[in-house]
Amino acid sequence: MPTCPNCNSKVTELLKTWPIVEPGKNGEIVECVVGIYWCTKCKIKFPYVVGKHDLRLIEKRELVELHEKIKILDKVKQDLAEKVDQLEKEKIMAEGNLMLTKLEDKAENLKVEISLLREVKKEIEDMIDYLEHNLSLKTSGQSLESKMQY
């Protein structure tokens, strides 16, 4: 935002703009956009450079070559975008397969755990049967002793 050269206040009121083309360094051309601003405080008009662009003149043949290169690069860009899409799809498939493999491994581990738990259950049931059998023998032996004492 320009400041007034007379009173140093910020000025926002742009009246008009136009381009000015002048030679720059190394054979380049500089296009400046100049605007006329109006200071509402001290009532003066003053110019201010709004924007600047460095330009270069090139032969028409060179411009055509550049357009051809742009077309080729656009095609390469399109091909690369398609490859990226394909790779994204393959990645999703691979992640799905990896998840499936992990789930299959987990299922196999669970089967082994179930098998072990069944064995432990069988051992516990056998121990319970053994203990119940011994307890029944003990109680029947005590009842025989008590009957013999009478």
Domain ranges in the chain?
Answer: 14-57
Q: How many CB atoms lie within 10 A of CB 11?
A: 22
Whole-prediction pTM value? 0.44
Q: What is the mean pLDDT of the chain?
A: 90
CA distance 102 to 3: 68
CB burial class (10 A; 0-12, 13-18, 19+) of residue 120? Answer: exposed
- Binned at pLDDT 50, 70 and 90, residue 136 comes out as confident
Residues 19-27 have a mean pLDDT of 84
Percent of the chain with pLDDT over 90: 75
CA distance 108 to 111: 5
pLDDT at residue 3, as a whole number: 92
Amino acid at 49: V
Residues 129-133 have a mean pLDDT of 91
pLDDT at residue 149, as a whole number: 62
Per-residue exposure over 63-76, b if at least 16 CB sit within 10 Å of its own CB, e if not: eeeeeeeeeeeeee
Amino acid at 55: L
Flag whether pLDDT at 70 surpasses 80. Answer: yes
Averaging pLDDT over each range in 9-13, 20-24, 80-84, which range is the top one? 80-84
Amino acid at 39: C
- The H or E element that residue 24 is part of is none
